[in-house]
């Protein structure tokens, strides 16, 4: 029997929460690269904090697990895309980052999970408010659509529209 190919060895493709594979027009800028006035570029976190104040237009930012997302609060209206990096399957800091952005800071534009994004994490990412995924899978679109309907019961309020079991139980009350 041939050894199966690990999902993590497939090239990452960008998929929306609706399961559409879309082109990725955004590029992560190296810290020494210059940017234009309104480019579809993603800035590193520290650079974004330093420069966004003086920039007009719409940019992206990359948040790594150790970065404190709340520092971005003053600049959120200048951001079109926020990429949250998941360097490894086991590092769950990005889930908190996403919920803080959506539920505490009120960020409403694109929130994208990048890095080691596998199908088994997508359910949790959807619930935490991500709406785009740079996912490695044989069938990335199916991975997202099946994750979305994996559980009919959820027990907590989170960043998505799913209502917790307690809300549904007492809906008529």
Q: Is 50 in the site for other proteins (CB under 8 A)?
A: no
Nearest residue to 152 (alpha-carbon basis) of 166, 167, 163, 140 = 163
Residue 11 CB, nearest distance to other proteins (Å)? 18
Site stretch for other proteins (CB under 8 A), options 19-27, 33-41, 51-59, 152-160: 152-160
Contacts of 32 (CB under 8 A, 6+ apart): none
Give me the least distance between CB of 4 and other proteins, in Å please: 5
Considering only the stretches 19-27, 34-42, 51-59, 162-170, report the one whose residues sit in contact with other proteins under the rule CB under 8 A: 162-170
Is residue 132 within 8 A of residue 111, CB to CB? The reply is yes
Q: Is 106 near other proteins (CB under 8 A)? A: no
Tokens, residue 3: 């050894």
Give the residues lining the site for other proteins (CB under 8 A): 1, 3-4, 6-7, 65, 89-93, 95-97, 99, 103-104, 120-121, 123-125, 127-128, 150-158, 164-166, 168-170, 173
């Amino acid at each position: 029997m041939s050894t199966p190919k690990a999902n993590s060895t497939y090239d990452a493709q960008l998929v929306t929460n609706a399961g559409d594979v879309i082109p990725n027009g955004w590029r992560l800028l190296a810290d020494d690269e210059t940017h234009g006035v309104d480019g579809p570029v993603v800035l590193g976190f520290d650079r974004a904090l330093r420069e966004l104040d003086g920039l007009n237009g719409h940019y992206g930012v990359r948040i790594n697990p150790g970065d404190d997302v709340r520092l971005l609060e003053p600049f959120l209206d200048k951001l079109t895309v926020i990429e949250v990096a998941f360097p490894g399957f086991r590092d769950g800091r990005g889930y908190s980052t996403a919920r803080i952005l959506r539920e505490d800071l009120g960020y409403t534009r694109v929130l994208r999970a990048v890095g080691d994004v596998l199908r088994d994490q997508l359910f949790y990412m959807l619930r935490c408010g991500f709406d785009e995924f740079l996912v490695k899978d044989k069938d990335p679109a199916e991975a997202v659509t099946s994750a979305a309907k994996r559980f009919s019961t959820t027990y907590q309020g989170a960043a998505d529209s799913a209502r917790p079991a307690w809300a549904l139980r007492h809906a008529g009350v």
